[in-house]
Amino acid sequence: MDTYQILFNPLAGGKNGEAAAHALDGLLAGNTLIYRDASLMASFADVFAFLGRDEKLVICGGDGTLHRFVNDMAGVTFENDVYLYGTGTGNDFLFDIGKKPEDGLVRINDYIKDLPRVTVNGVTKLFINGVGFGIDGYCCEEGDRQRAAGVGRVNYTSIAIKGLLGKFRPVNARVTVDGVTREYKKVWLAPTMNGRCYGGGMLACPAQNRLNREHTVSTLVYHGIGALRALIIFPSIFKGEHVKHKKACTVTEGHRVSVEFDRPTALQIDGETVTGVTKYEVETV
């Protein structure tokens, strides 16, 4: 019999996080389960005040919860097994590694080490999935507005389509990867990815491997086309087939990335929105 310390995010999954976490009562029947509300903790690192050396740690939530966990635990050394139990509305991390929430516990120790860092407006954070700049940042900004207005479930695909139809204006960008700088016009997307996908299954960089030995990230620039063409190609991103459009999609791998826009635009880091951004920088270990 093992002991599991279970940290749940009550706001995950449409504020159904606690109830969803208790599905573990059946999945881990016969073990000792200790539930703790992560929203009451100043930092996930506080878990070590009560986590025994041989106990296992379960994180219940989605991509946002996982993002907070890896940043709170930055620099903390531990040997405990850490698992993710997907209870969030966004589960791009699980999708990327070929898992689904219904698969139960997923051991994530190998996935939460040696993560890339992004610096925005002087603040540096680790990221688990990707940094979105362009219409993806706009989608997160608009999604935040809708949730604040009481919308129950935000449809990001619908927001993106409306953005392509005129709500979002493309920008010009300067993108530097490992010292090589290129200028792009009419940029719709310019994310840098640790995994393949974000935004509810958008395979932005389908060849990216988050466990690659070189610890490289991939930067996609979706550029050089008008709104109608951008709208026609856009749905193919959910299958990763957008990269076949070589004139519109440029993907570059590297260790150091700088993306600068010619006007302030919203940016998202693992779904966390930062508004009014003109530049981000990514560095890998």
23-78: pLDDT as tens digits: 999 999 999 999 999 988 999 999 888 898 899 999 998 898 999 999 999 988 88
3-state helix, strand, coil in the chain (%, to 5): 30, 35, 35
CB 192 within 8 A of CB 257: yes
Task: For residues 225 and 96, give the distance between their C-alpha atoms in angstroms, rounded to a whole number.
Answer: 28
Average of pLDDT values for 124-150? 90
- Closest by Cα among 185, 153, 187, 149 to 168: 187
Give residue-wise pLDDT tens across range 173-223: 999 999 999 999 999 999 999 999 998 889 999 999 999 999 999 999 999
The CATH number of whichever domain residue 78 belongs to comes to 3.40.50.10330
Query: What is the residue range of 143's domain?
Result: 117-283
The total number of structural domains that make up the chain: 2
Q: How many CB atoms lie within 10 A of CB 164?
A: 20
161, 183: one domain: yes
Cα–Cα distances in angstroms (integers) from residue 184 to residues 13, 90, 171, 226, in the given order: 38, 30, 9, 13
Write out the two tokens for 8: 């749940």
153, 73: one domain: no
163, 218: one domain: yes
143, 255: one domain: yes
Reply yes or no on whether the pLDDT at 12 is more than 90.
no
Reply yes or no on whether the pLDDT at 151 is more than 80.
no
247, 159: one domain: yes
Reply yes or no on whether the pLDDT at 165 is more than 90.
no
Reply yes or no on whether the pLDDT at 140 is more than 90.
no
Domain boundary among 89, 111, 133: 111
62, 150: one domain: no
- Closest by Cα among 179, 205, 173, 129 to 279: 173
Task: For residues 99 and 91, give the distance between their C-alpha atoms in angstroms, rounded to a whole number.
Answer: 9
Task: For residues 220 and 246, give the distance between their C-alpha atoms in angstroms, rounded to a whole number.
Answer: 11
CB 230 within 8 A of CB 237: no
The per-residue pLDDT for 267 is: 95
140, 278: one domain: yes
36, 94: one domain: yes
72, 212: one domain: no
Eight-state DSSP code of residue 165 = I
Task: For residues 253 and 219, give the distance between their C-alpha atoms in angstroms, rounded to a whole number.
Answer: 6
Reply yes or no on whether the pLDDT at 113 is more than 80.
yes
